[in-house]
Chain A
Amino acid sequence: MAEGLRGNLKQLPLLDIIRMLSSGNRSGRLEITQTGKSGEIFLDRGSIIHAAVGTQIGEKGVYTLMGWLEGEFIFTPEVASPDHSIDIATEQLLLEASRQAEQWKDIKEVISSTEAVFNISPSGSTSTVSLKPLEWQVLAQVNGQRSVVEIGEILGLHEFEVARIVYSLTTAGLMQEVTDAKTIFRDIVDEAFFEKLTASFNEVMGPIGPVIIEDEIKLLGEDRNAFPQDKVSELVERISLEITDNVKRAQFQKEMVSILRG
């Protein structure tokens, strides 16, 4: 099932995709999806004219999507935009997005992802701290259960703003990441599944099978010992695309889909 422009943000960052489309004067719809959520950016002859992700529309939508470091994108050309929410020049927008992307790199060193959860540090800061109103609002929402994204939704801020504040409060010693808050609730794929997957895949691919599986797990940014259930079908699909024979691929998919669907 070949497609047009489609790929993974880990391999091609959003900023590079937009630069490419913009320099090529392309028009159409760029859709970006992450597990359970999606957003879209519309271009008209290389200019970004509209973006929407959840409640974030326009420039905010673009900046929010720029913060998505994982996920898939699909560009569909010649799809007309339903709205016109962006008036500033695309070069200016990309410059700001580029600046934010640089800041994201620093932020990501402190915040593992926008799904990360924080609580107030029991040790606190070693010096006097003064907080701006927005910083106080963010701090007030931190409860060891809400993620950066969720705090943004409550306060009506986009992920980047919240992440930047969380970053500064964390580096000031006021907050700390709760490393296990989400992962303990993540459904993990058990080893028995991987044994079945490997056995079926080896039948088609031979001894190279386990190597391909390990590679694809790494490309998804995961670990076999804690592989999340919600990414398992994506893993199976990616692996199956390595099978060049259509009939054998469908047979492999059939076996695996039957396991996945229980």
Chain B
Amino acid sequence: MKDGLREINELVGVWGSLICNSQGEIFQGNTPPGINKPALENINRNLIGMFTSSAESMKGMSEAVLHYSEKAVFILALKQVFLVVICTPSIDISLLRMTINIVISRWDSDPRIQKTFKKAFFERI
């Protein structure tokens, strides 16, 4: 999982990426050092809340890109968890989406990672 996040972070414009549950709790992250984890988890919780409420009213929605003045946040709902990528608003979004898809495709075929995702989901459901 770490390798996948590292691969995403290698893309120009990506500031950090993480996997969290619906409560915003990070169980795997690749963000610059010195980040206040509780603050980031709090932001995650709000973002995921916003995302899931939008997703409920728009069936089939599984990703969203939120633009802020200095950063953009890409949120992708995986089966049990969420992938959050923080990047510059001018990022090549197609390249980011393809890179994420490559990583997820690898995760999908890795039973160990799937087990971790399920564990994270059931522990917090």
Contact = CB atoms under 8 A, between A and B. Distances in A.
Interface in A111-166: none
Interface of A: 1-5, 28, 31, 33, 36, 38, 40, 74, 76-79, 233-234, 236-237, 240, 246-247, 249-250, 253-254, 256-257, 260-261
A233 B92 contact: yes
Interface string B46-60: 000010011101111
B54 A79 contact: yes
Interface of B: 10-11, 50, 53-55, 57-65, 67, 76, 89-90, 92-95, 97-99, 101-102, 104-106, 108-109
Contacts of A5: 58
Contacts, number: 79
Contacts of A31: 65, 67
The list of the 7 closest CB pairs from A to B, nearest first, reads: A4-B58, A250-B105, A4-B61, A237-B94, A233-B94, A233-B95, A253-B98
Contact of A257 (B58, B61, B102): B102
Contacts of B57: 77-78
A233 B105 CA distance: 19
Contacts of B94: 233-234, 236-237
11 contacts: A1-B63, A3-B58, A3-B60, A3-B63, A4-B55, A33-B93, A74-B65, A240-B98, A246-B105, A250-B106, A253-B98
A237 B62 contact: no
A66 B86 CA distance: 29
B58 A250 contact: no
A14 B46 CA distance: 29
Nearest to B109: A247
Contact of A38 (B58, B63, B89, B92): B89
Given A76-B64, A250-B104, 5 more contacts: A3-B61, A77-B54, A79-B54, A237-B94, A253-B102
B62 A2 contact: yes
Among B57, B58, B98, B108, the one with the most A-chain Cβ atoms within 10 Å of its Cβ is B98
Contacts of B55: 4
**Chain B CB within 10 Å — which of A28, A76, A78 has the most?**
A76
A195 to B, nearest CB: 20
A4 B97 contact: no
Nearest to A234: B94
A237 B102 CA distance: 12
Given A38-B89, A74-B65, A250 B102 contact: yes
A126 B82 CA distance: 65
Nearest to A231: B94
A98 B87 CA distance: 35
Nearest to B57: A77
Contacts of A78: 53-54, 57
B64 A253 contact: no
A249 B106 CA distance: 12
